[in-house]
Structure 1
Amino acid sequence: MPSQYSKQMSTSGMQEIGPPTSKELDDANLARMGKRPVLKRNFGLMSMLGFSCTILITWEGIVVLFLQAYQNGGPAGAVYGFLFVWAGVAATFVILSELVSMAPTSGGQYHWCSMLAPPSMMKLLSYLTGWLTVIGWQATFATSCYLVGTLIQGLITLTNSGYNPKNWHGTLLYWAVVVFSVGINSVGGKVLPRFEGMILVLHILGFFAILIPLTYMADHGTAKEVFTDFLNLGGFPSQGLSFFVGTVGCIFAFAGGDAAVHMSEEITNASVAVPRSIMLSVLINGSMGFGMLLAMLFCIGDIESALKSTTGYPFMAIFQQATGSVAGTAVMASIVTTMGATTSVGMLASTSRQFWSFARDRGIPGWRVWSKVTEKSAVPLYSVLLTSVVACLLALINIGSPVAFNDLCSMSISGLYLSYMVVGSLLLWRRCTGGISSNRSSDSAVVNTAGAKLVWGPFHLPGIWGILVNVWALIYMTIAVFFTFWPTSWVVTVQTMNFSVVGTVGTIILSLVYYFVRARKVYNGPVMESGL
């Protein structure tokens, strides 16, 4: 795109044309990476901020999952574990922000891998990274729907003592959440951006709607108990090991940081707006999540009674102990449940866009079908539907074994974090070898794709600070992935065993088999599309 005013001839003489619009600049930048703009740019900064914040829903996740950190680490372990995870996530999000600022495409990790990796390793690394992102997002979407279904069951149990929950009830409720998510995602236009902006308001107001009554009405523990008491209820050989196992709950509360990345082709000024939304989301969600964690720990009350709650969720019992009211507890728990349901909408959008982009570059079997975009709504509807069908099929596991399904949920962390680690390692290598330029040689030159020149985007942490943050992020991600595969107690039974490593490694092996049998003949990294 021209960067200065241009002129054209008209019947009345020379007529000035103004500078290109943000959309034209975004489409031009996308074309420089070899991609045609086929999705509509309906998102702005605020709607994308709402999308990023409500994908993470950290304070809601802390409410639901804080027990894991409490049992392995205790109150003090939960506090310091959260701060450790928050610092690691912030560094990881800096890497994602730098990369999306360089190459704002829906492909995200596998596209970045193809542009950063050495030519000899580009195809295989890019392909594996694409599949790690696919399984990570598919598991994240399934986990969100599952949690909402079981939360609704918990609310029914809370308000109706005669209700006898069954596993298949949770599966049906799970399917209802999927149908709701498909409905919002299929409409197209400005429905999804406006929906996400509205949910951001609920996300913030809901935080205070729970925090204020909880802290005002509950009996409080002491600061000494919260900040100095460590527990090792999992029976691990050391308190340090117990602490790191307990951080997994906090890690999951920050899962999905690359959500906005996969919507990059649907937002104006993507190279600036997406990094801003990612970094603001970790600041906003981290602050609210830490505040809610402290509130839960100070107001925890009788934890033994909470653990025996018939709802299946101890936080509901904690709310009831604080308010002394079933109705008040139901309202507070409904806010968390509603946020979970609305989050599933954004997760489906992000999951389907990443899947669609990988199919567009021929990394998925049947890519010709999954890469189609409906003309009227400009939505990759086939990818939305396939993602939803896969999630519904996964829900059948819950009928036979909720334990097995919970292990599947752990793949959301391992899959996404492994993809972050691959691109983070490649970015560090390019940083240290000076492989990324700060200046673009031409407005029309192909950049930031496989085999092309690498240039930094508007968001960039330069020099030694960039290297240090990159190294810290890789250290944190290595720790996070390693402990994601651990069980929650030292004495392992069928109920406490974590089988997520089987699912993650199994998916990697299957993708490798398909790569050498078929994909290596059709997958060459990001495709340079015609018609540009």
Structure 2
Amino acid sequence: MHESIELRDRQLDSKVASASQSRVQDEQGLGRVGKKQILKRRFGFLSILGFSCTILASWEGILSTFTVPFENGGPAGTVYSFLVVWLGTFSTFLTMSELVSMAPTSGGQYHWVSMMSPRWCQKYLSFLTGWLIVIGWLGAFVSTCYLSASQIQGLVVLNHASYVPTNWQTVLLFWAIVGAAVFVNVVASTMLPKFEGFVLILHVVGFFAIIIPLVYLGDHNPASDVFGQFSNEGEFPTMGLSFLVGMVGNMFAFTGADAAVHMSEEIHDAERVVPQSILTSVLINGLLGFGMILSTLFTMTDVDTALASPTGYPYMEIFCTATSSIGGCTVMSAIVPILVTTTAVGSLASSSRMVWSFARDRGLPGWRTLSKVNSEAVPQWSILVVTLASVFLALIILGSAAVLNDVISLCVSALYTSYLISAFLLIWKRVTGGILEPSDMPPDTLVNTPGAPLAWGPFHIRGILGLFINFCTVVYLAVGVFFSFWPDVMNPTAATMNWAVVGTAGTSLVSTVYYVIWAKNEYTGPVVEIDR
């Protein structure tokens, strides 16, 4: 008995010592890039994998934005554009994994841009990138809440044909979803890692709960219709142009590669775990998303009825046709808005950490307040700002019938631009030989921050292969940014015009004016908080 107690005490002491050593290593790693440990590290590999997977939510996103690639691409275009986007996203994730392994901070792209930029444009380019990330993640949070709200209305229409959804009801549902996300992030903040781990299970189980009855009960189209039939509903001059315009819908389903990056300072061993989690998430989401696309297209036997669904979402009509049951269709369809709502929780977490980090580096007005955290190390003021901004942006729904495509395009254009700038600078540094091997740097040397040497992190793709992957990333992102500004039809009206260019260019203009007038004297890039 006595020996058993001694053994248990030794095991407990060992666990405490291991946890203490891990904490010290995390703090030292963050200190090497000039930052103090302020947030609490609550996430491990599985919980941050759940976070990454549910932020990407590729199969849910594909169902939610199904009409975008289908109308400009058709069944075959939807399939092939998904494969292109999956491959391009994997290339992007590999590039971002190299960067986050070098500097695992919540700032992400703007920190990387600052540490790699030429001195003459370092401050401004980093400042602009930071603002693009802020508006991009705000767009991601808003679009997620909007999708969930409108899908809930679609479920009501599915069960009550006399119900006519109104925009003000969408706004109220939107606010309710925002409230749920705030509750988890603020009131139940310590449970966020467990929540994300649970949602990962729902993400995978929900996929099979839909796909099994869909494929088993539904009639099937011939393979030639799925893989060989293209369409150009936007009436663009060529099918290739229509394909590229429609590809933005699938891009949105993979947007959020940097979600885990902005949580880096809350992840144990972030320089290794973040690359592992985001690469695993793109593999999981790619497989699930591709399976959902094929299942949906093969069972979409009545295209016109599906696209004209009064619910506003073709997948609901496809489920009803396959199951011949309103009850079964409702249960299957309800899984999607439930999971999209959980995505909103992660979107708020990631966007608020980005706002907090950028404020910590004095990139936002009111940075002294926005950079504060509460007793649980949660950036409550940043959460409040993101929440209020989304609440007011929801009012746009009252007067815009094209809000869905606009917020999708804004999210893609802003975030993809921040990825593009980071990837381009990484190529430039690789070509010029400006990045050292970790073994060439003393352990306590300040690295990977403005004015300090650059050194690779634990995740590094060496030689020509790494350069080739970075080049593919730049090409893919450039195409994505360019076509994220295109409307869905060749001759758009004011209602069908893609206004994402206004949001992205407007953000760039406002941030530039703000920088010239005030921020250039205050913002110097990531602030070095550690004395060396």
Q: Under a length normalisation based on structure 2, what TM-score does the superposition of the two structures give?
A: 0.95
Q: 2:418 matched to 1:408?
A: no
* SS in structure 2 of the partner of residue 372 of structure 1: coil
2:146 match? 146
1:26 match? 26
2:6 match? none
Q: Deviations over 1:286-312 (max 9, x none)?
A: 011011101111011111111221111
The CA distance in 1 between the partners of 2:244 and 2:295, in whole Å, is: 22
Q: CA deviation at 1:284?
A: 0.4
Q: CA deviation at 1:55?
A: 0.1
Q: CA deviation at 1:18?
A: 8.1
Within a 5 Å distance, the mapping from 1:252-331 to structure 2 comes to: 252-331=252-331
* SS in structure 2 of the partner of residue 461 of structure 1: coil
Change (3 A) 1:188 1:446: farther
The CA distance in 2 between the partners of 1:214 and 1:19, in whole Å, is: 46
Given that 1:232 and 1:239 are in contact with CA atoms closer than 8 Å, whether structure 2 keeps it comes out as yes
The CA distance in 1 between the partners of 2:169 and 2:217, in whole Å, is: 33
The CA distance in 2 between the partners of 1:487 and 1:113, in whole Å, is: 30
The CA distance in 2 between the partners of 1:452 and 1:48, in whole Å, is: 29
Q: CA deviation at 1:230?
A: 1.3
Given that 1:150 and 1:170 are in contact with CA atoms closer than 8 Å, whether structure 2 keeps it comes out as yes
Change (3 A) 1:189 1:158: closer
1:39 match? 39
2:10 match? none
Q: Deviations over 1:374-395 (max 9, x none)?
A: 1x21100000011011000000
- Give the letter for the 2:388 counterpart: V
Q: Under a length normalisation based on structure 1, what TM-score does the superposition of the two structures give?
A: 0.95
1:511 match? 511
1:393 match? 392
Can you give the 5+ residue segments of structure 2 that lack an aligned partner in the other structure? 1-16
- Give the letter for the 2:338 counterpart: T
2:11 match? none
- Give the letter for the 2:479 counterpart: I
Q: Deviations over 1:494-523 (max 9, x none)?
A: 222111101110110000000000000100
Within a 5 Å distance, the mapping from 1:21-420 to structure 2 comes to: 21-187=21-187, 190-374=190-374, 376-404=375-403, 406-420=405-419
Given that 1:36 and 1:531 are in contact with CA atoms closer than 8 Å, whether structure 2 keeps it comes out as no
The CA distance in 1 between the partners of 2:134 and 2:501, in whole Å, is: 16
Q: CA deviation at 1:365?
A: 0.5
Given that 1:397 and 1:405 are in contact with CA atoms closer than 8 Å, whether structure 2 keeps it comes out as no
* SS in structure 1 of the partner of residue 435 of structure 2: coil
Q: CA deviation at 1:285?
A: 0.2
* SS in structure 1 of the partner of residue 406 of structure 2: helix
The CA distance in 1 between the partners of 2:291 and 2:234, in whole Å, is: 26
Q: CA deviation at 1:167?
A: 0.1
The CA distance in 1 between the partners of 2:82 and 2:216, in whole Å, is: 24
Q: CA deviation at 1:189?
A: 5.3
Within a 5 Å distance, the mapping from 1:457-468 to structure 2 comes to: 457-468=457-468
Change (3 A) 1:406 1:241: closer
The CA distance in 2 between the partners of 1:240 and 1:357, in whole Å, is: 41
The CA distance in 2 between the partners of 1:62 and 1:404, in whole Å, is: 17
Change (3 A) 1:463 1:171: same
Residue-pair matches, total: 515
1:435 match? 434
Can you give the 5+ residue segments of structure 1 that lack an aligned partner in the other structure? 1-16
Q: CA deviation at 1:63?
A: 1.3
Given that 1:188 and 1:377 are in contact with CA atoms closer than 8 Å, whether structure 2 keeps it comes out as no
- Give the letter for the 1:426 counterpart: L
- Give the letter for the 2:493 counterpart: T
Given that 1:142 and 1:409 are in contact with CA atoms closer than 8 Å, whether structure 2 keeps it comes out as no
The CA distance in 2 between the partners of 1:486 and 1:299, in whole Å, is: 30
Identity %: 53
1:4 match? none
Change (3 A) 1:55 1:276: same
Q: Deviations over 1:190-239 (max 9, x none)?
A: 30000000000000000000000111111100111111111112111101
The CA distance in 2 between the partners of 1:517 and 1:18, in whole Å, is: 50
The CA distance in 1 between the partners of 2:218 and 2:188, in whole Å, is: 44
Q: CA deviation at 1:187?
A: 3.0
Q: Deviations over 1:226-282 (max 9, x none)?
A: 111111121111011011111111000001110000000001010000000010011
The CA distance in 1 between the partners of 2:408 and 2:135, in whole Å, is: 10
1:5 match? none
The CA distance in 2 between the partners of 1:28 and 1:426, in whole Å, is: 26
Given that 1:309 and 1:317 are in contact with CA atoms closer than 8 Å, whether structure 2 keeps it comes out as yes
1:3 match? none
Change (3 A) 1:409 1:229: closer
* SS in structure 1 of the partner of residue 451 of structure 2: coil
RMSD between superposed Cα atoms in Å: 1.3
Greater alpha carbon shift after TM alignment, 264-273 vs 483-492: 483-492
* SS in structure 1 of the partner of residue 518 of structure 2: helix
The CA distance in 2 between the partners of 1:34 and 1:125, in whole Å, is: 20
Change (3 A) 1:87 1:505: same
* SS in structure 2 of the partner of residue 165 of structure 1: coil
Change (3 A) 1:165 1:525: same
The CA distance in 2 between the partners of 1:381 and 1:445, in whole Å, is: 33
Greater alpha carbon shift after TM alignment, 130-139 vs 435-444: 435-444
The CA distance in 2 between the partners of 1:195 and 1:427, in whole Å, is: 35
Q: Would you identify which runs of 4 or more consecutive aligned residues in structure 1 move more than 6 Å? A: 17-20
